[in-house]
């Protein structure tokens, strides 16, 4: 598990691929909306698509605002509340 992005609004953690777990067969990502206190885990083919889109975004040398806007596209899918222990 690696923290790959962290701004005031979002955090993204990458989980490496694990052939022994179907959910992580292609790796996975946890996207957390800090202000909304909610998160989303994506795995499988959606994780592959996310990885591809992120690589294209990074190639364009985006600003933090542009990255946060990209991650904001996932807000509608975030339904898991974040609890701090």
Identify which has the larger pLDDT, 21 or 5.
5
Whether the per-residue pLDDT at 85 is higher than 60: the answer is no
Give the integer Cα–Cα distance in Å for 85 and 81: 13
pLDDT at 81: 83
Place of tokens 């990074």: 58
Q: Tell me the C-alpha to C-alpha distance, in Å, between residue 73 and each of 21, 69, 76, 78.
A: 27, 7, 7, 10
What residues make up the domain containing 51?
2-81
pLDDT at 45: 84
Phi/psi for 74 (5° steps) reads: -95, -5
Q: How far apart are the first and last CA of the chain?
A: 19
Domain count for the chain, please give it: 1
β-bridge partners, 81: 38
Which tens digit of pLDDT belongs to each residue from 17-61?
666 665 556 678 999 999 999 999 998 888 889 999 999 999 999
Phi/psi for 26 (5° steps) reads: -110, 15
Identify which has the larger pLDDT, 3 or 80.
3
């Amino acid at each position: 598990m690696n923290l790959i992005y962290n701004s005031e609004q979002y955090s993204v953690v990458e989980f490496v691929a694990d052939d022994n777990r179907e959910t992580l067969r292609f790796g996975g990502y946890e996207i957390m909306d800090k202000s909304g206190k909610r998160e989303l885990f994506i795995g499988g083919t959606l994780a592959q698509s996310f990885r591809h889109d992120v690589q294209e975004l990074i190639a364009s040398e985006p600003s933090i605002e542009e990255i946060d806007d990209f991650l904001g596209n996932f807000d509608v899918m975030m339904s898991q509340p974040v609890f701090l222990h």
